[in-house]
Amino acid sequence: MQELTYTIDERTGIATLEIDTPGPVNTIGSRLITELDRGVERARSDGASGVILASAKKRSFLDGANLAEIMRDPSPLDLKHLVLELQETLSRLARSPFPVAAVLTGQTALGGGFETLLWACDRVFASTGTKMGLPETGVGLFPAAGGADTLRRLAGLETTLDIVLRGRVLPAEAFEPSGLVTMVKPDAAMDAAAAWLAKNPSLTNRNYDPGWKEPDLDEQRALVEKAREKHLVCPHRPWLAAALDAIEEGLGLPLDEAARRAADRFAPLIMDPNVRNKIDLFFTVTSIGPRLARVNAKKARPADTVAVIGAGLMGQGVAQVCADSGMKVLLFDVDEDTARAAREKVGRTLAPLVQKGRWLPERRDRILASIEPTVDYGRLEGVDLAIENVFENLPLKQEILARVQDANPDIVIASNTSTLPMQEISSRSDRPEQVVGMHYFSPVPLMPLLEVIRGPATSEAALATAVTVGRRQKKTCIVVGDGPGFYTSRTFGVFVMTGFYLAEMGLDPARIDRLALEAGFPQGPLNVYGTAGGNVIYHAAQAMKERMPDLIPVPESLVKMYEAGYLGAGKPCFYTREGEPDASALEHVVRSGDLPVPGQDEAREMLVLSMVNQAFLCLDEGVLDDYMSMDLGAILGVGFPDCWHGPARYVSQKGVRATLERLEEIHDRYAIDYFKPAMEFSRIIACGVDRGLV
């Protein structure tokens, strides 16, 4: 299949290179690079007056490297050769004796696609809905086709560091002030590009402008050093270190040389185990994730109208994602004024997205038009699904369930709960088979995971309805068994409690949180206690302890912090509102004089192993059925370090026997119940397996 089509307008002399690679999005592989190079040479030989880059795909202009092609036989030498070929082709196009424009009508230009625009194009004509960015760090790599060096010439180093290191994707409007992008109507884009090319016949590509002055090198190096302090806390993300090394090394160098040196740092990453974890995680999320939850989709209810009961923060988020996926939403609360105010709040949260050009106004308006505030439970007649989002209070949830089923006995009712078992919620129901769990994560519109809980009586139809609706909302769904805290809340809970236990053993709270960042967590456990709200953490911990007293103990310090009103979320906690350590919190930390103070390496390891062991205990109990759900749930839901792919891959790389032995040592030394190794480890070893679980 041809991946690039060349045409030339004999009247204007403008050549068009249209990209169309196999698959749903355009990607960069060896064949596209070859055909792009031939297209550039043909435009030169034809004496083209200008070149327009375009895409035949509706949503994708060019979205980075073909990772599947690279990973079939990963080789640093081959990867370096591929990157250098792309660099040389982009350089030839940029240095050609004609101006180059690109047309993007609501399409994406990501990774190498955005680098193509930055290096080779003099102007980009884009319509609303177009997105551009450098998300390579999200898959364990960094932009090596000149992205950082071309972007800093355009937007400055500080902006470049932010986009590269955070893997940011932005609306095309964000690049309009730089002069790279001109916003146009979709149907006028090609004409606008052709007219601009005709007016600028001998333009010098900005990356080769001899008049460009390099900003102060000392100031730029200071920015890089500041970025190192912020982003290189965890040593298991070598792609970030390589990106910063490449950026710093390129300062003051000509573009072509800076890019070649970046390729030297880029290619070896492909053999790093943590990089392979990140790339595999990308494929797991995009390829396996959408198919992971196995349900009989034919039994799912249509759910074109959904009732969302409870219009607090979670309910508002659920209502938004339902409406955004084309469902009509009946939004319930205690009275109609509260429900109406919740709908208005959804509109206010969407306003900045519209103002910044990330959303079309029509999308916001469509969502709001699809949400109907109500208190009339008679409206539930004929509705397939109700999603309940009230407080984590068992009697209240049972009351709502009874009220909903009285209004419509056939409705599937999903409880958005993080800790309360479906068996208990449905225990007073005459139709427990209609009850299922849909555990969303906050903020609902942004968090990609939906944990669907299968209660003991949950029917195939109820389960299939929940999963189908979740997929319609573009969530990655995992199906888990019933039990206190299910999977994600249990693993997240022991992480927070381990932080408290380490404080009781004598480690400074701020140091504990720093150790968590070094391990790869996005936040430390004691910081989480404050930001998530100690009230929420306390009640969730107590709910799990009541139901699993031998497995989920609650540290005494957590109870004392709660009782003293040290709850975070605007109230005192381990940190002040300015983010500084609050020494007064230490008055409520109960010192454990009988236990040794763990070293920093062991404390860091305990934070990780607390979650790992809890995940495998969930396999023991049938809460989890497979390792892929384990890894996706931990990464997408509760912040397990992405550099390890998930608990199952972590154990695979450390070794099952070695993990078991470390858990035994920690359990014997510190006598914390949830470090007692899961039986799953012994079963795996008995099967003669030590690695390769995922």
Round to whole Å and give the CA distance between 463 and 294. 10
549, pLDDT greater than 90:
no
371, pLDDT greater than 90:
yes
**Which tens digits make up the pLDDT trace of 173-214?**
999 999 999 999 999 999 999 999 999 998 999 999 988 999
Look at the alpha carbons of 186, 190, 191, 196 in this order and tell me if their dihedral is positive or negative: positive
* Averaged pLDDT of the chain: 96
593, pLDDT greater than 90:
no
Average pLDDT for 547-562: 91
Average pLDDT for 223-228: 98
Of 401-410, 536-545, 629-638, which gets the smallest average pLDDT? 536-545
**Which tens digits make up the pLDDT trace of 651-689?**
999 999 999 999 999 999 999 999 999 999 999 999 999
Return the pLDDT at 78.
Answer: 96
Return the pLDDT at 285.
Answer: 96
Q: Three-state DSSP class for 83?
A: helix
343, pLDDT greater than 90:
yes
Nearest to 204 by CA among 274, 122, 146: 122
Return the pLDDT at 359.
Answer: 87
47, pLDDT greater than 80:
yes
569, pLDDT greater than 90:
no
Res. 451 pLDDT band, cuts 50 70 90: very high
7, pLDDT greater than 80:
yes
> Token pair of 348, please?
């206010």
Average pLDDT for 28-49: 98
**Which tens digits make up the pLDDT trace of 104-143?**
999 999 999 999 999 999 999 999 999 999 999 999 999 9
Return the pLDDT at 355.
Answer: 87
Measured in whole angstroms, the distance separating CA 603 from the mean position of its chain's CA atoms is 27
10 Å Cβ neighbour count for 59? 15
Measured in whole angstroms, the distance separating CA 115 from the mean position of its chain's CA atoms is 22
Tell me if 201 sits within 8 A of 99, measured CB to CB: yes
Of 250-264, 437-451, 479-493, 531-545, which gets the smallest average pLDDT? 531-545
Return the pLDDT at 358.
Answer: 80
570, pLDDT greater than 90:
no
Q: Mind listing the domains of the chain with CATH numbers?
A: 4-202+215-271 (3.90.226.10), 302-481 (3.40.50.720), 488-686 (1.10.1040.50)
